Structure 1
Amino acid sequence: MDIAGLDGAWNRSWPKCPPEARRLRHQFPERWVRFHALPEGKRYATSDAEHAEILRRHHALLEDLLGDVAVGGGGLVAITCSWSATGAPTPRDAAVAATTPGATHWRSDDLAIEPGFHSWQHHYVSATDLHDPALDRLLLCVADDMTAGVILTEAVCAWAVHPYDGGVDIFTESTEVRDRLAGRHAEWLPSTR
């Protein structure tokens, strides 16, 4: 993993923003779209068929974002996290570490919003692709609420995908790309009622 290259790519695409979904939504709302992972906004899978549907939706969205790169099994970067009260990186939870055992520490960000308090998020990166069984294990780990803070992107960080238990937030390179993605998967968008 080219940490310096990833750092430069992230900072060009998402200036002054850590790889954290709430910050991305706040700083780039015009590039954000949310999709449900299951029909009717169901939050957690209760069957193998529902787990398969979660994976199908995530893969379809990632394939759209990757475009031609997806055909050849194109490269994804999986960002996973640990948290602590200090800037020293801490090990990730066993469940997420098992999905990406070769992850390398990339950066640590203090995400605290109150003065005098510290809330560090330590970001680890590993290479994966759509055909890697480890990607599916990571996505299901998130879907089953065993970890949080996961971001998927590609080498130039033009977009960021944040799966969470119940859905996925996607941050695209432009509002046009966001709108095209939303149009192609309109049935997965949250209801506006």
Structure 2
Amino acid sequence: MRGRDQAVDIAGLDGAWNRSWPECPPEARRLRHRFPERWARFHALPEGKRYATSDAEHAEILRRHHALLENLLGDATVGDGGLVAITCSWSATGSPTPRDSTVAATTPRAAHWRSDDLATEPGFPSWWHFYVSAMDLRDPALDRLLLCVADDMTDGVILTEPACAWAVHPYDGGVDVFAEGIGVRDELLSAYPAWLPSTLQGTNGSDSGS
């Protein structure tokens, strides 16, 4: 079913996420705060360039994302499925709202998973509504979604796998990886040293990004 949204086991995903990332919603800033020892940051383009201005640079963004995902997926890289894409809409109430048409076009049959009030100031609710769809590395929808993020047309995207052992947050300019453990994180850092922020803030700091 590559190229088309596949069904996600919502109850299974909910349990898997809560086991892997307890008391933490699928949102990058909170994941960085709660699990800093599992976090690594990589640039999407050479020298930390934020936005692509050519087809070649868009291809490089996709190449880097695919390399990281292939590394994390391991043996699950081959075959259909293997990835869960989380996309978002936002509102001031807990009732789920439709996603922006641009991101909805990449995963049109995504199912609502959960809604969380991620407000940072009392009295100002900020609800995030999370939608999920299954895909694999060869699914054209994956590249469409990644380029949508890279061109700053949506935010809040998380890629994971059914057991939620790891999570990947692409943003315009780079990607945050939350590895299964410190050892896996360190292996990624060693595998792609040229993609790291020059300050090495990808493991412990506040390099730009959502």
Partner residue of 1:82 out of 70, 89, 101: 89
Counterpart of 1:164 in structure 2: which amino acid?
Answer: Y
Of 23, 45, 59, which aligns to 2:66? Answer: 59
Large movers: runs of 4+ above 3 Å:
none
Q: Could you report, residue by residue, the CA deviation over 1:126-181 in whole angstroms, capped at 9, with x for unpaired residues?
A: 00110000000000000000000000000000000000000000001111100001
1:72 aligns with 2:79: yes
In the aligned structure 2, how far is the partner of 1:149 from the partner of 1:102?
18
Matching of residue 48 in structure 1 with residue 85 in structure 2: no
Equivalence map 1:105-120=2 (5 Å): 105-120=112-127
Once residues 36 and 71 of structure 1 are traced to their aligned partners in structure 2, the CA distance between those partners, rounded to angstroms, is 26
Quote the sequence identity (%): 82
Write out aligned runs for 1:158-173 (5 A).
Answer: 158-173=165-180
What residue number does 1:145 align with?
152
Contact 2:81 2:134 in 1 (8 A): no
Instruction: Report the counterpart of residue 102 of structure 2 in structure 1.
Output: 95
1:24 to 28, 31, 40: 31
Alpha-carbon separation, structure 2, partners of 1:72 and 1:126? 17
Q: CA deviation at 1:73?
A: 4.3
Q: Secondary structure at the match of 2:76?
A: helix
Please report the TM-score for the alignment, with normalisation by the length of structure 2.
0.91
Which blocks of at least 5 consecutive residues in structure 1 are unaligned? Answer: none
Q: Which residue of 1 aligns with 2:199?
A: 192
What letter matches 2:45 in structure 1? L
For residues 82 and 11 of structure 1, the distance between their equivalents in structure 2, rounded to whole angstroms, comes to 21
CA contact (8 A) 1:66 1:74 kept: no
Q: List per-residue Cα deviations over 1:38-73 (Å, max 9, x = no partner).
A: 000000000000000000000000000000110224
- The one-letter amino acid paired with 1:97 is A
Between 55-64 and 71-80, the greater mean CA deviation after superposition: 71-80
Q: Which residue of 1 aligns with 2:42?
A: 35
User: TM-score normalised to the size of structure 1?
Assistant: 0.98
Quote the Cα distance in structure 1 between the aligned partners of 2:199 and 2:106. Answer: 35
Q: Which runs of 5+ in 2 are unaligned?
A: 1-7, 201-210
